[in-house]
Structure formats: C-alpha cells, structure tokens
Amino acid sequence: MCGIFCTISRNGFLSPSENATRLLKHRGPDNFHEHQVTVNTKDNQEIFLSLSASVLCLRGTPLVPQPIVDPDSGCALCWNGEVWRLEGEQLPVLDGSDTKLIFKLLCEAASSRESHIQIPKVIERIRGPFAMVFYDGFSKKIYYGRDSLGRRSLLRTVTPSGDLVISSISDKDLSTCWSEDEAEGIQIIEISQLTANSSFPPVELTMPYVVLQSEREQNSEELVDPVARPDPLIQLPYGTLNKDINPPSTSTRLNISSHPLTIFERLLRLSLAPRVSGIRLSGQDVECECPQSEAEPRIAILFSGGLDCTLLARIISDVIFSPTEAIDLLNVAFQNPRIHKGELGYELCPDRITARSSLAELQNICPRRPFRLVCINVPFTESQGHRQEIIDLMHPHNTEMDLSIAYALYFAARGIGETTTDDGKIIPYATPARVLISGLGADELFAGYMRHATAFSRKSWPGLLDEMELDIDRLGKRNLGRDDRVISHWGKEARYPFLDEDVVVWTLQAPFWEKVGFGMTRSIASEIEKNEDEGELDIEDGKLLLRLLAWKLGMKGVAREKKRAVSIHDS
C-alpha cells in the first residue's frame, strides 16, 4: 500500500501540505519521497510537475523507494498496487518488487515508437488492484488511473489557482471539492503540447476500459462499428453478466457434488494463495501479550462472523504454510449509550454474537490453527473523538451510511482491542498484521443481498439478473476507494479475494443456476439430503455456492447463517 500525490502547475512546484504529508505517511509509513520535474512545452512554457509517494512495504527485499525514477529517460512512477499475476505469465508474481516490474515494463513501452499502443498493453496485462501516476519522460505525458474495479483510491481536484492535483487522499488545505476517479480507463495529459493559450488544467484524453464480448454480442447487429471505437483501448479480462434464463431441463439445484462447486473452490484457493503469502512483517514493535508458541500473524480478517469472511478464514488456514501462525479475526462493536451503559452491550451486538459462533466452528474444524478473535470495543466518546478524521478520510463520500461503514472499517483497521487467552484471561491486544482480508464482492457476484431475493420474488429470474447486473456494473464506482482511504490510514492494506480477476471472469460467465438456488428444483438424491438429514433445506438460495462450500468444509452453522439486512464487514 502506498500514498500518491501528484501536482501539475504553471505557478511553480506544489508540494503536499503538512496535512497531506501526514496522511500520506500514515498510508505508507516505511518511506516518503518527492520528485520534481520541469517540463518545457512546445512554445517554451514551463510546467511544474511534482510527484510524491509514501510506501508501505509488504513484498520484496529491499524496500523500493517511490517515486521510482529512471534517470536516463526521465520516466517516473507512483504505484499503489499489487500485481498478483501478469497475463501471459504462467506463475504468479510473488518474489521481488512489483513496483520495479511494472516500472520496467512501462519504461520499455514508453520508449517504443508506438508507445500509445504499448503502454495500454502493459496495463491490460495486470491482474490485481492498482492506482498509479506514470510520467513518460520520452513523450512528456502523464498517465493516471486505477483498476476497473476501483480497488484503490485515486482522487483529483483543481485548486483555486488552477493547479491539477491527483492524490490517494483528499487534502482540505488545498481544496474542499475532490472527485473520485471513475475507474473507467486511464487518463492521459500531454504536457508538452500545452501552449500559452491552452486551458488549464489541461484537457485529458482517455484510454477506456472495454469488456470482453461474448460470441452472442459479437454477432449482434446492434453493436457499434469497431472502427468507430476510440483507440487505444484497454481490454478487460472479463465480459458482461451471463443473463441466460433457460437452464437445461436436466439442471437441478446445486449440491456439494456439483461441478461448479469444485471449480469455484479451486479459483478461490488460487485467489487467496498470493494474497496471504510472502508478506513482510512490520519492523515496528507491537505491544501485545501473544503466546510465544504462536507465530506473529501477518494476516487479519475483517470478521463479522458471516458467511463470506468465515469461509475465507477457513480456506486461509489451509493455504498459510505455517500451521502455528495465528490468524487475527477483527470484530468491531460500538457502544450505544442510549441502550447499554456497561461493557455487556458490546457482547449483545449481532456481529459479536455471530463472530463468537463462527469462531467456535473454525476452532473445532481447524484445532491446530490459532484463530484469535480481536474484540474491538469502541466507546461512544472515542468514536466521536475520531469523527472528523473519518469524515475527512472518506471525502468525497458524505452520507450517513458512508459514515457508519467508515467508522467500522476505521477502528477495525486500527486493530486495537482485547483478546482471550487459552486459559480464559482477557488481555489488551493490538494486531501486528498489516494485510486485512475482506469478503467484499461476494454479495454482488453471488446474489447475497436481500434485494436480490426480493427481485426474484417479484420478477423471477429476469428480475434477479437485472439486479445482479446493476450491482456488478457499479462495483468500480461504489465504495472501494472510500474503504481504501479509511483502512490505509493505519498503514494497512485491504485485499479482496472475491474480486480476483479469475474469480470475477468465471462468476460472470457462469449461468445463474451454477451460483444460486433461486427457482431451482432440488435433486431427489443430493449428497446433503442423503447424508445430513436434509440439512440443505435450511440453506438460503442467495450465495448458495458459497454456502455449499462452507458446508463441504465442515461449517454447517455458517452455511445456514441467515443474511441480515446490513453486515458492516461483508457488505
């Protein structure tokens, strides 16, 4: 995780303010640096480019300072991302610095005579979340943007003096009006082509993201002529949602023997493997009373005890190499002084109740794995004391729902609470984990919201698929940038296994009857009905594939868990 701050000005170099520097260093406590470039335009005007970046080093040795600069070409990169895989490469990118790798590929592309084609090809190959600002020293262009799912924050604003600012965080000292990058493509600013009469901030070109077309779409007469499409494009690995509403006559409701379950489990394990491997431990001392027999946790999970996060915890236990490495489960509860005056109120929160129930199931199935429930109890006075900081971090989001979710993520990411030792002693505890795993994306991809069930009850399969399509199309424009700003404030990085590109590709291609149970007839002899006293009958239709996987892995209580209207960590 890193912090990015880029300014383009006619008025001189514009460095981050004291407040912006503080926020950037919170995101990247391991390194901070600024790089300045003066660019001469074609009519000899001077444009002042300032690139600043902070670094949270989670992969590779040694640390790679940012911005990373090539002194020969003048190219420079601010990179906030994780490259889990490059398209065309068989093995995941686990060793070394992905920042250096992407910078090398971008510099090579920029040096090409067809750089306008080669640079988007590099971006097209990236599998993983990112936000970036790349200065092409050959052509004097700025490229900036974030991945199509919007998994990393990137904001922009124009100062009162006309300077353009691109940043991971909003700085109210510079501007009170920031906007989120739309995650619809990569923006290009041709600095060298500016003249004294050019508008400023400069007009931006866009390399748009485009989805893969299915054979049906390619044959459609309604498609726009490809010749009329803008060039260049960045081809995404996934297409549109499969909206087929005609299941084969032999199709029945999914069960634990269904082939789609095997495929999905394999994809989810492949998604988790790089996200929980090769993580550097923090060099900072963390005050906690961990049992010495347990390896220091590198991974923590945003844990409500719900289906999505508990399923991830169960599989992570299989994927992590060391059987003694602890996994921290971060569970937040807030004091409501109007209802509960004492400490007991925290234990009555719905997420705390489900967390303890799911923890017991995890411990029963994985007895060797130290799962540590971190109870983060937030008094009302403390939550109010951080209110303005949270509001500033989540800007430009500003609704009460934004604030409610941001509160939970903010205190969860801080990771300070208490835990219970094996002998029943409650002790203060602060998680040292700098990687936080989130189940976000499961509800959108697998119809887990209550509104999906409502849409099906009203308009059957077409209504369900229309609702799912709306959720999926909005993923890149919703709340991931907000969540990134809030979580990263504590020098932590959120990772989203359900939003892995390969998981998304398969989920969008699969017809609904391979993912959910709405409207499907149960087979007469499903494995669960034969062997588990018809336990499957208790399993909801929404996210059926995830529920069956939980059941297969031994978590029957989790599989039966009823979806609540709002689950802070999973929704």
Lowest mean pLDDT among 175-184, 265-274, 483-492, 502-511: 175-184
- Is the confidence at residue 285, as pLDDT, over 90? no
Tell which residue, 381, 404, 385, 384, has the closest CA to residue 394: 404
In percent, how much of the chain has pLDDT > 70?
88
Beta-strand runs (E) in 46-96: 46-55, 68-69, 76-81, 85-86
The whole-angstrom separation of Cα 403 and Cα 2 is: 23
- 334-338 long-range Cβ contacts below 8 angstroms, 24+ apart: 334/378, 334/380, 334/383, 334/407, 334/408, 335/377, 335/378, 335/379, 335/380, 335/383, 336/380, 337/380
Instruction: Give the pLDDT confidence score for residue 369 in this predicted structure.
Output: 95
Task: Indicate the DSSP class of residue 126.
Answer: E
Per-residue model confidence (pLDDT) at position 44: 87
Q: Quick one: tokens of 388?
A: 């303005």
Average the pLDDT over each of 88-102, 319-333, 545-559 and give the range with the smallest value: 88-102
pLDDT at 249: 76
Token pair listed for 324? 């003694």
| 546 within 8 A of 308, measured Cβ to Cβ | yes
Q: Is 2 a catalytic residue?
A: yes
What is the rounded average pLDDT of the residues 45-49? 93
Per-residue model confidence as pLDDT tens digits over 167-217: 999 998 888 899 999 999 999 999 988 877 777 777 788 899 998 665 444
What pLDDT was estimated at residue 291? 44
Residue 223 is predicted with a pLDDT of: 38
**Residue-wise pLDDT tens digits, 501-542:** 999 999 999 999 999 999 887 754 454 444 454 555 568 999
Smallest CA-to-CA distance from 474 within 437, 508, 441 is with: 441
Query: pLDDT averaged over the chain?
Result: 88
What is the pLDDT averaged over residues 217-232? 47
**Residue 234 pairs with which residues in a beta bridge?**
209
Q: Which two tokens stand for residue 95?
A: 């060793």
Quote the pLDDT of residue 342: 67
Label residue 91 by pLDDT band (50, 70, 90).
low
pLDDT at position 93, please? 63
Give 513's contacts (C-beta < 8 A, 6+ positions apart). 247, 251, 253, 254, 520
By mean pLDDT, which of 89-93, 299-303, 378-382, 558-562 is the weakest? 89-93
- Using an 8 Å Cβ cutoff, are 61 and 27 in contact? no
Between 232 and 171, whose confidence is greater?
171
Q: What topology is assigned to 259-560 in CATH?
A: Rossmann fold (3.40.50)
In terms of Cα–Cα distance, which of 204, 200, 196 is closest to 42?
Answer: 196
Look at 160-169, 468-477, 549-558 and tell me which has the smallest mean pLDDT: 468-477
Rounded Cα gap, residues 367 and 319, in angstroms: 15
What pLDDT is attached to residue 231? 65
- Evaluate whether 331 touches 372 at the Cβ level (below 8 Å): no
Beta bridge partners of 186: 207
Domain boundaries, the chain: 2-210, 259-560
Closest CA to 280 of 438, 498, 55, 77: 55
Indicate the pTM of the whole model. Answer: 0.92
DSSP letter for each residue of 354-390: HHHHHHHHHHHH-TTS-EEEEEEEE-HHHHHHTHHHH
CA distance 139 to 125: 22
DSSP 288: -
Write down the pLDDT at residue 220. Answer: 43
More confident residue, 394 or 198: 394
324 three-state secondary structure: coil
Residue-level pLDDT at 192? 86
pLDDT at 289: 44
Cα(460)–Cα(272) distance, integer angstroms: 34
**pLDDT tens across 361-374, in order?**
999 999 999 999 99
If 0-12 CB within 10 Å is exposed, 13-18 middle and 19+ buried, where does residue 338 land? exposed
What is the average pLDDT across 458-476? 93
Residue 147: closest CA among 167, 124, 168? 124
**Structure token digits, residue 175:** 């501007």
- Encoding tokens for residue 109? 């592309």
pLDDT tens, position by position, 297-312 = 999 999 999 999 999 9
Q: What angle do CA 358, 363, 367 make, to 5 degrees?
A: 165
2-210: CATH class: alpha beta
Per-residue pLDDT of 399-432, as tens digits, reads: 999 999 999 999 999 999 999 998 999 999 999 9
- For 334, list phi and psi in degrees, rounded to 5: -110, 145
> How many CB atoms are closer than 10 A to CB 323?
11
- As a residue count, the chain comes to 571
pLDDT digits (tens, 9 = 90+) for 104-132: 999 999 999 999 999 999 999 999 999 99
Q: Which of 2, 6, 107, 309 is catalytic?
A: 2
Confidence of residue 465 (pLDDT cuts 50, 70, 90): very high
Burial code (b: 16+ CB inside 10 Å, e: under 16) for 373-411 equals bbbbbbeeeeeeeeeeebebbbbebeeeebeebbbbbbb
Structure tokens at 554: 């031994």
